[in-house]
Amino acid sequence: MTVKAVSFVAKSGTGKTTLLEKVIVHLKERGYKVGVIKHDAHRFDIDHPGKDSHRLTAAGADTMLISSPEKLAIVKKHTQSPPIEELIGTYFGDMDIVVTEGFKKSGMPKIEVNRQERSTSLLCRGENYDPTLVAVASDGELDLDVPVLDLNDPCAVADFIEETFLQ
């Protein structure tokens, strides 16, 4: 994989999206092209009834892409989720960094988000040791074998990503 990527993982309700929003802003301010992939373990739909794109998909299109001067969206049916590396390679080749939310079982480098009031145990340390963990963003004091970043300092998290993946 030539595009640099890091996955933010955490238990539900920990604040991954909130942290990612802020980190993305800092990376964009530094001039980086940032791609994002959100893992959804459930079914989602961006193709709404009544829209032409939905009508074409409902008619049987296996892949439907809608494009405008500002953006594009693709709806592609598949029988199982493609590997994250394939998604990055196919859709994000023009990015400096891809941050993902989820994909805790992937082999990608991970930053775990930990909010002490939500849980004192980690997904990537303890009984499920994940060697791809590169840091933890937490609001508590943790003694770990990886850097512990301040969950409430998204600039510091962006600094870590820049130093670790973009230099």
Tell me which of 2-11, 36-45, 61-70, 131-140 is least confident.
Answer: 36-45
| pLDDT tens digits, 129-167 | 999 999 999 999 999 999 999 999 999 999 999 999 998
Cα angle, residue 49 at apex, residues 45 and 52 outer, rounded to 5°: 105
Distance from C-alpha of 99 to C-alpha of 125, rounded to nearest angstrom? 21
The pTM of the full predicted model, rounded to 2 decimals, is 0.87
pLDDT, position 144: 96
The string of DSSP letters for 17-64 reads HHHHHHHHHHHHHTT--EEEEE--SS----S-TTSHHHHHHHTT-SEE
DSSP 82: P
Q: Is the pLDDT of residue 1 over 50?
A: no
pLDDT, position 43: 61
**What average pLDDT does the structure give for the chain?**
90
| pLDDT tens digits, 58-71 | 888 888 888 889 98
Residue 41: pLDDT band with limits 50, 70, 90: low
pLDDT, position 12: 87
The string of DSSP letters for 119-158 reads -SS-SSSSSS--TTEEEEEESS----SS-EEETT-HHHHH
pLDDT, position 45: 61
Residue 86 and residue 76 in contact, taking contact as beta carbons nearer than 8 Å: no
DSSP 117: T
Distance from C-alpha of 94 to C-alpha of 72, rounded to nearest angstrom? 15
Q: Calculate Rg over the CA atoms of the chain.
A: 18
- In which residue are the tokens 């963003």 written? 137
